[in-house]
Every structure is written in C-alpha cells, then in structure tokens.
Amino acid sequence: MKVAVIIPTIGSRIDSMVRALLSAVCQEIVPSDIIIIFQGDAVAYSKLKSKITSFFPNCITCLHFIYSYNFLSPAIARNKGLSHAVSLGVDYVAFLDDDDLWLPCHLSRALNSLQRSAASFYSSSSLGMFFILGYPFFYPTPFKTREGIWATLFPLASLDSSFIKSHVSMSEYGCLPSWVFNLHDLVSEFKTESLFGESHRQNEDLFLALDIHSSSLKTVYAPFSFSVVFRAPLPHLLSNSNSHLSHTPKFVHVTLSFIKYILSLARAIPFRLSLFNRKLLASARKIVTAQDFSN
C-alpha cells in the first residue's frame, strides 16, 4: 500500500513548510512518497531543498520536488501533484497545506477507516489553533470547511445561490488537509487526473467536494478525529479577506470575525479541559512547539 502526500508551498513559507513536512514524516504509517510543489524564485527553491535535505536526510528517496517559477493557482498546483502521484503508481493520496499540521495518528486513522468501510474518500474534523501570550490554544472545528460555515450562514455572499444550496446539502466533508482518498477510484470516477477544476481561482476544494458528493463514490467522515491542526492567528481571524463576504462593508467583516474568534475561544475551553482530549492536545502541542526551523 503506497500513500503519497501532496504539499504545495511558496517561497515565503519555507519554515512553516518544513514544520508541516515534519508532521508528515512522523506519521504512524509513513507515506511512501511526498510531493512538494514549490512556487517562487530559484534562490528560494534552492534554499528550501537545502533545508529539507539537511533536516530530513533519511527521507530524500521519498521526496519529489516540482518547481514552478510562476505562481500557480491552488487547483493547478494540486493537479500537478496528482499527475505525479499517478505516475508513481500510488494507491492513496493525502493533502497537506504548508501552514497546517498532522498529528501522528492522521494517516493511520484515515487508511483504517477507508479499508474498514470499503470507502474511496475520507475526511475528518480538525483542530484550530491560535496563540495567547505565546501559548498554543486549540479548539475543535466540527464544521465542514472554514469557508463553508460562512456560505451556510450568510447567503449574501458573492457565491451563487445554487452553489450555497448544494453546499448546505453536504453533511460530511472536512477541511482539505484532512482528505485522504483512493486515487484510482477518483480518477476512474471523474475520467481525469486533474480532479481540481482549474477554472476556479479559489474554493477549488469545495467544488471537488460537491462533485464527490453527487458521485457514486462511498465516503467516510470521522467527526471526532481532530488529527489535523490548522493555524488561525488573530490577524487571520480578524481579517476581511473571506471571499464569501467580499461585497459587505468592512465593519461587518470585523464584527463577524470577532464573533467567530469569541466562539472559537468558547469551544476551546471545555474541549481543553476534557480528560479524553488531553493526550491528543499534548501531541498537538508537541508538534506545534517542535524545533525552531528558522535557523
């Protein structure tokens, strides 16, 4: 059983990229191949390769680099990784963003769930993370996707109503870094290696989730896995960059983002106090506070 991990990255995120890679190679089931799609200038690309090979000398044979001087859309970058995964003959593909992390149990839970249920597509809940006085604070995110909750609650968004209606009908799709799927099954179902629609400049994962939702593929969702950690610092939580609210006044962005932050904090406190989650949070904190790669 061969598992490939696809990680797109850009030149300004070298340190967070190395930390994400650390969480990938520390999996209980180690991936057979790790495909890194780098976008940026050649100097930054050389720096990234040098840093990765120095920190992970035992993983050189499983690392595959795809370089593009021009910045690609997320859909194009991920499709390049998928095409390379097909050429490697892997059985499963997992996605990891360069600013997100996996707990060591992520791939093992995903693959066990896929094989036990004979499903083609796996997704799970995740942990959001932000810092208070330098201390990492985690909170559960049971929503289908971070963007999806806005589309569900605020149909005044720029997306058309048919997309929102379809998105609301989806019940069990986690964020993209939680996805693990049988590559052969998806390529056979959609008759293409380019699973992400390249005409979409953003939200390409939501559109693929909609396609999977309306297909004959069997999916499995783990609502209490929390094996993926995504970073949501205050500048992000309070930003007005959410595309779904692009036509609303700035004060509405800030107000809604502040409410989102308060709700996140409210969810974090009881979740952190739960005895059941203490071991999981200790594992997350260990990954988050791992060696500083900026040197």
Q: Give pLDDT, residue 36.
A: 95
Q: Give pLDDT, residue 290.
A: 58
Helix ranges (H only) for 120-192 are 146-153, 161-169, 183-190
Q: Give pLDDT, residue 241.
A: 41
Q: Give pLDDT, residue 124.
A: 87
Count of CB atoms within 10 A of residue 236's CB? 16
**In-domain check, residue 293:** no
Q: 217-231: per-residue pLDDT in tens?
A: 999 988 778 788 876
Q: For the whole model, what pTM was predicted?
A: 0.78
Q: Give pLDDT, residue 89.
A: 94
**In-domain check, residue 20:** yes
Task: Among 11-15, 84-88, 96-100, 214-218, name the one with the lowest average pLDDT.
Answer: 11-15
Distances (CA, A) of 269 to 12, 249, 265, 266: 33, 31, 6, 6
Q: Burial code of 33-49, b = ≥16 C-beta within 10 A, e = fewer?
A: bbbbbbbbeeebbeebe
The tally of domains found in the chain comes to 1
Reported as a pLDDT band with limits 50, 70 and 90, residue 293 is very low
**In-domain check, residue 242:** yes
**In-domain check, residue 125:** yes
Q: Give pLDDT, residue 153.
A: 38
Q: Which residue has the higher pLDDT, 146 or 129?
A: 129
In DSSP notation, 208-264 reads HHHHHHTSS--EEEETT---EEEE--HHHHT-S--GGGTTS-HHHHHHHHHHHHHHH
**In-domain check, residue 167:** yes
Segments forming the whole domain that contains residue 174: 3-288
Mean pLDDT of 242-247: 43
Q: Give pLDDT, residue 16.
A: 82
Q: Give pLDDT, residue 287.
A: 64
Q: Give pLDDT, residue 138.
A: 72
Average pLDDT, the chain: 76
- Name 65's bridge partners: 36
**pLDDT above 60 for 166:** no
263 neighbors 141 (Cβ within 8 angstroms) = no
**pLDDT above 70 for 180:** yes
**pLDDT above 90 for 294:** no
Reported as a pLDDT band with limits 50, 70 and 90, residue 69 is confident
**In-domain check, residue 295:** no
Residue in the block written with tokens 């049988």: 182
170 neighbors 209 (Cβ within 8 angstroms) = yes
**In-domain check, residue 263:** yes
Q: Give pLDDT, residue 28.
A: 92
Q: 186-206: per-residue pLDDT in tens?
A: 999 999 988 998 887 777 887
DSSP one-letter code for 110: H
Q: Which residue has the higher pLDDT, 142 or 79?
A: 79
CATH, residue 8 = 3.90.550.10
Reported as a pLDDT band with limits 50, 70 and 90, residue 244 is very low
Q: Which residue has the higher pLDDT, 85 or 239?
A: 85
Q: Which residue has the higher pLDDT, 82 or 70?
A: 82
Q: Which residue has the higher pLDDT, 241 or 209?
A: 209
Q: Which residue has the higher pLDDT, 171 or 124?
A: 124
In DSSP notation, 69-99 reads SSPPPHHHHHHHHHHHHHHHT-SEEEE--TT
**In-domain check, residue 87:** yes
Residue in the block written with tokens 């500083």: 292
Considering 7-16, 90-99, 236-245, the range whose residues carry the highest mean pLDDT is 90-99
Q: How many CA atoms lie within 13 A of 195 on its CB side?
A: 26
Q: Which residue has the higher pLDDT, 27 or 207?
A: 27
